A and B are shown apart, each in its own frame.
Chain A
């Protein structure tokens, strides 16, 4: 199990759990980021403290502080 924030670019895995605030968790899940969903870390942007992820064919970016609370099971 790894934190989404620690993955290197190109790593894929399955979402395990989201530990963010209730409303942010709801927003992530409504976009299809559910436990068991495959996810890929596309790119890390060091200057912005952001990561870009791909999930269900959709590309999203979130800050490291939130990505830290997303657990991923590496495949």
Chain B
């Protein structure tokens, strides 16, 4: 269907707005069906959902971020007014659908009224009618009183979606509205609007009322010297601030009271009474927000989530790794040996595999987050954890991302999206990689297994205690880092906490699964490319030059072995020669040269160039440390942290003067380094994606690496001073 008017071939644009927690996403899903795409708003990392009306490519639908009001202080809040009013490069919508929660009518109508002020075509979709105690507000009478079409829909059952689609088409077919401003301005406010209107930029297209009146009022409420909005002319900001701070005036109060007076007037004329019974939510909250019981239940729930991220994802991760190994093996047999084959198997296939292997944990985490958010429990988490997190300068909502970073920092960084303020999100992102993620586990296992005694300490296994201590250490450091960063780099005004505690609702599984898939796909698409490039780059560094000078001697040795030995002895000898050759190649490779180049820097930490190569490998991903050390010590392929021979090699490795390379003190220093250094390209790629700048990932890399070096230096040199080896 095409809509016959001056739009011509351009698809009609419908914006869907609404308060948080009103079922806006469900309505959006019902309207667009399965065909939607998720992107980010330009310049900020707020998710932007887009689709077209089911069965009608001619109607585009965009989702406006959930908001209680169109007034704005931050860039994130500014998106709502930009999308609804067609400012800041956003196209002007032909129709705005405001989703209204029938149980919270007055607060929801407040937002609808602001949209109506702008003079755009408006349609109300009333949800949650089934949750109203008594009779839900009647759509027809609301339509009469508010003066716009009203449709009752149910996000849960989809009832009313057909009516909504019909009304949307009908509204789009109507000529653009010529509405008047919906309420009468008191004289003082009318005077303010007259003063501010000429200051509105021409690009806002606000020459005549009601749009000019609405945008002038918006400026009066939103702009002052402390707002963080961009693209606002200086005269407009100072003009608005001057009017708002005039003596004897309280513009917020005047405007908001007048709007609520209009809303209350509308409500008074409605048939049907809107209220809701929160009895079951109240009962649940008396347990879930209980100072003791609530905490215990919350910690239990987190333990389940944590355990699930660790163990449930295990089989899927193994399956993916197995699949990629199989693929590499197939390619290996199908292609002739040489650079192209190695590049395909060890570079591309291993690189893609290292991205996809995150998928199980990311999907699971987004599933849990979706369930927590959709049920209404996420707001309670922030409520419960506010105190602890506040001490570290963090937002209460930072707790779930912090906990999930024990599994993996990538999904944890994506999980910071539940925080509204950019400062809170960025601060949380900066400390998340300090938490002990699962990629550190193989490295810890190798080092602890090789260098620390198997003995017991007060009846507890010493190695296990050390492992637990590393978890505690990382958590403490992360909290301290947050406390320091929040008092230095991320100062900014501390924003008062204001949380809505919505009633508990049964999660809408369809919507949760859809959200889980869309968020994961967005991650794979955008972070995947960077991870792939880095992995391939590291492989190139480790593989070239492919032949070390003097490598001809290995060919001679092989021939010698083949003529003098046979059977098992021959295989062993050939293996030994292969290992020696690859160790030699590594020594001479670009990565090997880098390792030797950085040796002076890592020597004060107790490391030699071989550990340096391992650390360089680990900068792509920590778990690479284990396989790189296997390469360095000339073991054949298939090295993992349980390989006894690698442990033996580490234990017996000697410096030229005969002293052991790996002492418990070196091990401890190495553990501290691995715990604190930012050794994960994927994390940096994710931070780059989420912050939309290179500044923060670079800062993260720099501060964590400096912290790791400093702490390891203290451990090693301090330990030596105290007489340990």
Chain A positions within 8 Å of B, measured between CB atoms, are 20-32, 34-35, 42-43, 45-50, 52, 56-63, 65-66
Contacts and interface: CB of A to CB of B under 8 A. Distances in A.
A61 B501 CA distance: 7
Given A30-B68, A48-B384, A60 B496 contact: no
Give 9 nearest A-B pairs by CB, closest first. A59-B501, A30-B69, A29-B256, A61-B499, A48-B387, A26-B252, A24-B496, A66-B496, A47-B291
Contacts of A35: 253, 257
A45 B289 contact: yes
Contacts of A52: 285, 289, 383, 501
Contacts of B103: 57
22 contacts: A20-B496, A26-B256, A27-B498, A29-B253, A29-B256, A32-B107, A34-B253, A35-B253, A35-B257, A42-B282, A47-B387, A48-B387, A52-B501, A56-B106, A56-B107, A57-B274, A59-B278, A59-B500, A62-B499, A66-B496, A66-B497, A66-B498
Interface in B491-516: 495-503
Contacts of A47: 291, 295, 387
Nearest to A55: B107
B501 A60 contact: yes
A48 B292 CA distance: 12
Contacts of A62: 496-499
Given A23-B73, A47-B291, A60 B257 contact: no
A21 to B, nearest CB: 7
Given A30-B68, A63-B497, A57 B289 contact: no
B500 A60 contact: yes
A29 B260 CA distance: 9
Contact of A48 (B69, B104, B383, B501): B383
Q: Which residue among B110, B276, B496, B501 has the maximum number of chain A CB atoms within 10 Å of its CB?
A: B496
Q: Chain A: interface secondary structure? A: mixed
A32 B501 contact: no
Contact of A63 (B106, B226, B276, B386): B386
A23 B252 CA distance: 9
Contact of A34 (B256, B278, B501): B256
Contact of B498 (A45, A49, A56, A60): A60
A52 to B, nearest CB: 6
A61 B383 contact: yes
A43 B386 contact: no
B17 interface: no
Contacts of A43: 285-286, 289
Give the size category of B's interface with A.
35 or more
Interface of B: 68-69, 71, 73, 103-104, 106-107, 110, 221, 224, 226, 252-253, 256-257, 260, 274-276, 278, 282, 285-286, 289, 291, 295, 383-384, 386-387, 495-503
A32 B383 contact: no
A24 B252 contact: no
A23 B228 CA distance: 12
B101 to A, nearest CB: 10
B421 to A, nearest CB: 12
Given A61-B498, A63-B497, 18 more contacts: A20-B496, A22-B224, A24-B495, A29-B252, A29-B256, A43-B286, A45-B289, A45-B291, A47-B295, A48-B387, A49-B386, A59-B502, A60-B498, A61-B383, A62-B497, A65-B496, A66-B497, A66-B498
Contacts of B256: 26, 29-30, 34
B69 A24 contact: no
Nearest to A59: B501
A34 B252 CA distance: 11
A71 B387 CA distance: 24
A47 B252 CA distance: 33
A42 B286 CA distance: 10
A65 B497 CA distance: 10
A45 B288 CA distance: 12
Given A52-B289, A59-B500, A61-B501, A32 B386 contact: no
B383 A31 contact: no
Given A22-B252, A34-B260, A57 B285 contact: no
Contact of B221 (A26, A61, A63): A26
A18 B574 CA distance: 83
Nearest to B253: A29
Given A46-B291, A60-B498, A30 B383 contact: no
Contacts of A61: 383, 497-499, 501
Contacts of A59: 278, 500-503
Contacts of A50: 383, 386-387, 497
Contacts of B289: 43, 45, 52
Contacts of B295: 47
Contacts of B496: 20-21, 24, 62-63, 65-66
Contacts of A20: 496
B106 A32 contact: yes
B386 A48 contact: yes
A23 B594 CA distance: 53
Contacts of A60: 498-501
B275 A57 contact: yes
Q: Which residue among B221, B295, B495, B498 has the maximum number of chain A CB atoms within 10 Å of its CB?
A: B498
B69 A57 contact: no
B499 A58 contact: no
Nearest to B497: A63
A28 B252 CA distance: 11
A26 B71 contact: yes
A45 B383 CA distance: 9
Nearest to A37: B260
